[in-house]
Structure 1
């Protein structure tokens, strides 16, 4: 997927007024996500993203513990100037749903296995019990 296509989809899903706002959200969310993924799963996801975003995923912030979805949203809000938990939820869902589309079903399921319960909703892939 090309960077322009990725950002256009994030911009549309997040209802951002500019591509720059979509890019800021994408960079923040992917950096935080990268801190929670390891090994082949992180490398495979990176390979399906545009190079500039793949590098962010592969060189993540360091997480001291896996963040439950609620704390992931708070962390996102803290990193995006002027964001609230509500706007961060929109940011995270826009970015992660586009990443899930790029990854495909199988890889997205393997990503979700590395994350605490509840991330399926953030990826736009609710798991049915």
Structure 2
């Protein structure tokens, strides 16, 4: 998947008015996901995404990942994106959906394996 394809999917499904808004939603969601994942997982996912997008998953240093629930994930996205929680939830779901399409099923299984059950919310399809 190309950079333009990825952002086009996010813009269309999230009903955003610009590619800049799609990039912001993508960036803050990936930054937050990076904070949650452990080990090489952020790098492994980033390697399967367009470079301009994957860079937002790359940690400065590898760590153990922070432990926080999906409500905190959404709160971080909402604050960083500057949107209400309901909108942040939808944007994060759209971004995660695009990642799911761009990354191999095996890699996505590893990502989901690191997340508690409440994160299933992020993988719900909320677009037609």
Classify 1:63/1:19 alpha carbon distance in 2 versus 1 (closer, same or farther; 3 Å): farther
Separation of aligned partners in 1, 2:75 and 2:64: 14
Shift of 1:13: 1.4
Q: Does 1:11 align with 2:11?
A: yes
Stretches of structure 2 that go unaligned for 5 or more consecutive residues are none
Alignment of 1:1-129 (within 5 A): 1-59=1-59, 65-81=66-82, 83-124=83-124
Separation of aligned partners in 1, 2:105 and 2:21: 27
Cα RMSD after superposing both structures: 2.1
Moved more, 22-31 or 106-115: 106-115
**For the Cα contact (< 8 Å) 1:46–1:57, is it kept in 2?**
yes
Classify 1:119/1:98 alpha carbon distance in 2 versus 1 (closer, same or farther; 3 Å): same
Separation of aligned partners in 1, 2:104 and 2:124: 12
Shift of 1:120: 2.4
Classify 1:65/1:105 alpha carbon distance in 2 versus 1 (closer, same or farther; 3 Å): same
**For the Cα contact (< 8 Å) 1:96–1:124, is it kept in 2?**
no
Stretches of structure 1 that go unaligned for 5 or more consecutive residues are none
TM-score normalized by the length of structure 1? 0.86
TM-score normalized by the length of structure 2? 0.86
